[in-house]
């Protein structure tokens, strides 16, 4: 009997049945996709880092070092499993050419290396450790698509020509957010290329399982071992690997949560609409002795079948959609190995999601138990409180606008030149990097003199970065990368305090402040190198804490007098703004070409080029997600408004019939509904915009703060936020209203007399 009743109900309510199944399918698909991508990303990164044997602690160092001191330190530590010193030959981008494609505009620090001996392996696309032969080179896989590189092409490094034998995955530097990229060559070819670039050392440690990386880092710094460069740890490497695709997954998870809310609300409306239609049949069943619980059981059985169907379809859709969304992930990190576990987690998540919907359905159906039999038979009973359905219409419109705006705002923020201030970078129009040369200071000083004479330059500032020993209040010592210069020009974003205004003040990045346990007003002693060669301690007060996600997020800023401090400069950065912003690209090209003699040690790029180089992949991922989200949201919003209007029309059918009996036309009744739809949707759009800008900003900020970008603010595109999204949303709502209000024409004037 239940089977026949369920089949008849599905046949008589095709639209309601299909719509409910669609909502359940979409919910399962979104959550399943999110679980699939997240677990696959996490698993593939872990697998790559396991195969490559990623170091737990990495100290980059430029300059001389004593390998015996480092080996002695490692031997005296119980937590060190193995240690090695790898060489990395920085190659000027102007010296790299693949086919007819130059690396002049590339923002990465590119270089060559040979295969490691003990760990930190570079692996091929099958995650196998590779050893190139004499004239072969393996290219980072992240460049394959960017430069359209094919295996077998020729690559020129200086005067040397090599054949591209394949592509490599680098567990340390796969992400474009890592500032360096390694090309793999043979040991012999590394020696041949050594005259072209500048050598850097990667001092790497593999620790025993369960070792405290923080304690080891402190011990390394206390031992005063080489530290003329950034320090990177295993958790930071893993986080940087996950960041690009992780932001896309975060967007999908946000959509999935909003979709669960919308689906629950819409399915409730669908059920109430169905119960209104089936009122007479339900009354008759109750009249002949069928209990409300048994009637509810029949409906629950129907929704259980729809839920099971939605789970299966959602699972298949998630598998299909994951293909294009995970293509880059698979290229960078490989395929996840434990597919069985992924599928189990997907199904478990989808079942939990559907269970939440079914609980809501069961709660709605309890209205059948409470409805009086005689009242239902006479068509005046109700299966629940007749709540104002214009409120959920407004709420769903607001949620839809919110779902569209968050990825759009995140994408526009990452694209905006001002975003660099959250990265610890000044907000100039042009950035000039001076690296990979022994005369960093001399070249930087000459650039400063030249820029001061350039009439097209509005303002510029020279920043010098060096490695300093600092002593904490508890007498512990640390190495800090300190950027010296006038920080009042092109300041970064400070979450607390402000830039250092004197040589007795210092600002710390958020991650450094957390690790060192320092805050505004605390003091540290910085060891400067005076002109006579002696070491001088200067007590500096913490003036500010700023956002930074460069160099591992662990930097500092100061304004030490360069004449009183001759600490070796590791690199220099010059920020420039022009009088005419439209000339940025032309000026950059002209300046780049006019300095051929120092071109190998200098990179000149606009801030836009810099952002594209560092965040290009992430921006592309979020941009694609925002387009898909917007299309998806518009479809959902159309269906939801249509369903709510159908329920409203059914509830108010008698009132509409009475209006027609009094002489009102169908158009008059429709116009009244349209006015309400327009008013409710307009309010919903305004609320959605506010939610997308403020709570949405908070959600994105929580995620980015873990990377060191605290105090995050959306940089919105006004046309998108205040014109494009509202117009599209309003058009969708009105289109759904027009489709739903057609039913008004079928209402007859005599129906109110029944």
Q: How far apart are CA 700 and CA 695, in angstroms?
A: 9
What pLDDT score does 203 carry?
A: 92
Q: Is the dihedral of CA 42, 45, 49, 55 positive or negative?
A: negative
Angle at 87 between CA 86 and CA 90, to 5 degrees: 140
Using an 8 Å Cβ cutoff, are 204 and 84 in contact? yes
* pLDDT tens, position by position, 203-254: 999 998 888 887 888 788 778 788 777 788 888 788 777 776 777 787 788 7
Range with lowest mean pLDDT among 1-5, 222-226, 501-505, 572-576: 1-5
Average of per-residue pLDDT values in the chain: 82
Query: Structure pTM?
Result: 0.77
- Per-residue model confidence as pLDDT tens digits over 599-631: 556 788 888 777 777 777 777 777 777 777 788
353's tokens = 């999601």
Q: State yes or no: pLDDT of 708 exceeds 70.
A: no
Compute the distance between CA of residue 432 and CA of residue 448 in angstroms, rounded to an integer.
11
Is pLDDT larger for residue 715 or for residue 704? 715
Mind listing the pLDDT tens digit for each residue in 407-444?
888 777 777 777 777 777 777 888 888 876 667 778 88
Contact indicator for 606, 588 with CB cutoff of 8 Å: yes
Q: How far apart are CA 752 and CA 754, in angstroms?
A: 6
Phi, psi of 689 (to 5 degrees): -65, -45
**Virtual CA dihedral for 108, 114, 118, 120, nearest 10 degrees?**
20
- Return the percentage of the chain with pLDDT > 90, whole number: 11
SS3 232: strand
217 or 291, which is more confident? 217
pLDDT-derived band at 377 (thresholds 50, 70, 90) equals low
Question: Between 131 and 391, whose confidence is greater?
Answer: 131
Give the tens place of pLDDT for each residue, 656-703.
778 878 888 888 888 888 898 889 999 999 999 988 888 777 776 666
Contact 484, 559 (CB under 8 A): yes
| Four-CA torsion 255, 245, 431, 587, nearest 10 degrees | -80
Mean pLDDT lowest among 53-62, 125-134, 255-264, 428-437: 428-437
* Residue 385, SS3 per DSSP: coil
């Amino acid at each position: 009997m239940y089977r026949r009743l369920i089949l008849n109900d599905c046949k008589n309510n095709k639209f309601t049945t299909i719509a409910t199944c669609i909502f359940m399918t979409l919910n399962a698909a979104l959550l399943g996709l999110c679980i699939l991508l997240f677990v696959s990303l996490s698993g593939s990164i872990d697998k790559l880092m396991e195969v490559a044997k990623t170091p737990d602690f990495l100290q980059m160092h430029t300059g001389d070092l004593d390998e015996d001191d480092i080996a002695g330190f490692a031997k005296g530590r119980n937590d060190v499993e193995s240690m090695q010193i790898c060489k990395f030959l920085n190659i000027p981008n102007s010296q790299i050419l693949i086919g007819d494609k130059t690396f002049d505009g590339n923002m990465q620090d590119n270089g060559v290396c040979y295969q490691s001996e003990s760990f930190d392996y570079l692996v091929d696309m099958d995650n196998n450790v590779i050893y190139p032969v004499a004239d072969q080179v393996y290219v980072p896989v992240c460049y394959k698509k960017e430069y359209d590189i094919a295996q077998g092409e020729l690559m020129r490094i200086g005067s040397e020509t090599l054949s591209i034998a394949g592509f490599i995955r680098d567990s340390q530097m796969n992400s474009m957010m890592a500032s360096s990229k390694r090309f793999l060559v043979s040991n012999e070819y590394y020696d041949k290329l050594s005259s072209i670039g500048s050598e850097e050392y990667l001092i790497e440690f593999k620790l025993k399982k369960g070792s405290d990386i923080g304690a080891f880092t402190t011990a390394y710094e206390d031992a005063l071992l080489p530290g003329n460069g950034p320090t990177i740890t295993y958790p930071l490497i893993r986080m940087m690997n996950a960041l690009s695709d992780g932001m896309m997954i975060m967007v999908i998870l946000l959509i999935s949560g909003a979709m669960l809310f919308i689906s629950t609300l819409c399915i409730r409306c669908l059920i109430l609409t169905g119960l209104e239609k089936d009122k007479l049949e339900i009354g008759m069943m109750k009249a002949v002795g069928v209990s409300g619980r048994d009637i509810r059981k029949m409906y629950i059985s129907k929704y259980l079948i729809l839920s099971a169907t939605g789970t299966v379809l959602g699972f298949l859709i998630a598998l299909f959609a994951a293909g294009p969304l995970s293509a880059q992930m698979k290229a960078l990190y490989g395929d996840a190995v434990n597919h069985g576990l992924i599928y189990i987690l997907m199904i478990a998540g989808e079942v939990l999601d559907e269970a939440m919907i079914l609980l809501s359905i069961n709660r709605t159906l309890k209205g059948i138990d409470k409805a009086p039999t005689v009242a239902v038979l006479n068509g005046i009973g109700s299966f629940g409180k007749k709540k104002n359905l214009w409120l959920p219409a407004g709420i769903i419109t607001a949620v839809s606008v919110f779902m569209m705006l968050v990825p759009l705002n995140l994408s526009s923020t990452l694209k905006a030149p001002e975003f660099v201030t959250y990265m610890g970078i000044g907000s100039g129009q042009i950035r000039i990097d001076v690296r990979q040369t022994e005369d960093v200071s001399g070249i930087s000083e000459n650039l400063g003199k030249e820029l001061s004479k350039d009439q097209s330059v509005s303002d510029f500032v020279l920043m010098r970065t060096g490695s300093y020993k600092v002593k904490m209040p508890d007498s512990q010592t640390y190495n800090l990368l300190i950027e010296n210069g006038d920080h009042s020009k092109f300041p970064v974003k400070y979450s607390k305090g402000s830039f250092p205004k004197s040589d007795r003040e210092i600002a710390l990045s958020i991650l450094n402040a957390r690790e060192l346990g320092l805050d505004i007003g605390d003091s540290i002693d910085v060891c400067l190198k005076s002109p006579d060669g002696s070491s001088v301690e200067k007590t500096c007060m913490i003036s500010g804490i700023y956002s930074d996600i460069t160099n591992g997020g662990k930097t500092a800023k100061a304004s030490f007098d360069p004449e009183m401090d001759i600490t070796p400069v590791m690199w220099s950065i010059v920020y420039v703004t022009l009088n005419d912003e439209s000339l940025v690209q032309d000026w950059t090209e002209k300046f780049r070409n006019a300095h051929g003699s120092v071109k190998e040690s200098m990179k000149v790029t606009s801030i836009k080029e810099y952002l594209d180089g560092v965040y290009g992949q992430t921006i592309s991922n979020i941009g694609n997600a925002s387009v898909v989200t917007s299309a998806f949201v518009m479809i959902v919003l159309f269906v939801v408004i249509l369903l709510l209007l159908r329920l409203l029309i059914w509830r108010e059918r008698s009132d509409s019939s009475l209006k027609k009996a009094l002489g009102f036309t169908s158009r008059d009744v429709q116009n009244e509904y349209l006015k309400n739809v327009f008013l409710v949707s307009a309010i919903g759009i305004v609320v959605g915009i506010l939610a997308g800008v403020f709570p949405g900003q908070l959600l994105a900020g929580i995620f980015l703060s873990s990377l060191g970008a605290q105090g995050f603010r959306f940089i919105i595109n006004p046309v998108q936020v205040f014109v494009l999204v509202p117009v599209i949303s309003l058009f969708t709502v009105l289109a759904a209203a027009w489709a739903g209000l057609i039913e008004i024409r079928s209402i007859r004037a005599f129906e109110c007399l029944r």
